[in-house]
Amino acid sequence: MTPRMDNPSLVVPGALQPLLDLTEVIGKVGVPQTTLDLIRLRVSQINGRGYTFPDGPDRTAKTDPRLRRVAGWRTESCFDEAERHALEMAEAVTLMTDPQDMASDEVWEKSAQYYTDEQLGALVMHIGLVNLWNRVNVATRQDDAAWR
C-alpha cells in the first residue's frame, strides 16, 4: 500500500524531537529495554502496525527470539512474570474495552508487584506513545518499520 504522505513526525516542524526525548526519558527509569521492546511489538500488533525483522545469522542473533512469540505471551513460557504483567497492562490500555477502567485494579496491582510508581508511570507513557506512533503510521499508511 502506498503511504498517503510522508511521516507526519517529519512533516510537522518540531514534532519529532519531543517524541524522541520522551522515549529517552521513559528508557531511564529502570524498566528493562527488553520489556519496553516486548510492549512496543505487542501494542503494534494490536494496532496493525507491521515490523520486519532482520535477516541473516549475525543480525538475527542480535534480535530477541521471544519477539516472534509475543502475540502468544499468555501461553509461552519464555516470558517472566514482570514481562507478563507489563504485556497485560499494554493490552488493557491499548484495547480500551472499558474506557472507564482501561487497566483494572487487578491488572494494575499485578504490575505494581514488579514495578515502582515511576516505572509504572513510564510503562503507561510508553504504551501511550507506542499507540500514538502506531496510529499516526497506520492512518498515513506508512511502510512496515524495520525492527532495530
* pLDDT, position 148: 79
Q: In sequence order, which residues have a C-beta less than 8 Å from that of residue 111 and are 6 or more positions away?
A: 85, 86, 88, 89, 120, 123
Backbone φ and ψ for 111, nearest 5 degrees, come out as: -65, -40
Q: What percent of the chain has pLDDT over 70?
A: 96
Residue 60 — very low, low, confident or very high, per pLDDT cuts 50/70/90? low
Q: Which three cell numbers stand for residue 22?
A: 520522551
pTM: 0.92
* pLDDT, position 89: 96
Average the pLDDT over 121-143 and give the result. 97
Cell numbers 474495552: residue = 97
Average the pLDDT over 68-81 and give the result. 97
CA angle in degrees (0–180, nearest 5) for 43-48-53: 80
Taking each continuous run of H as one helix and of E as one strand, the counts in the chain are 7, 2
Q: In sequence order, which residues have a C-beta less than 8 Å from that of residue 51 and are 6 or more positions away?
A: 41, 44, 144, 145, 146, 147
Tens digits of residue pLDDT in 81-126 = 999 999 999 999 999 877 777 788 999 999 999 999 999 999 999 9
Q: Which three cell numbers stand for residue 45?
A: 500488533
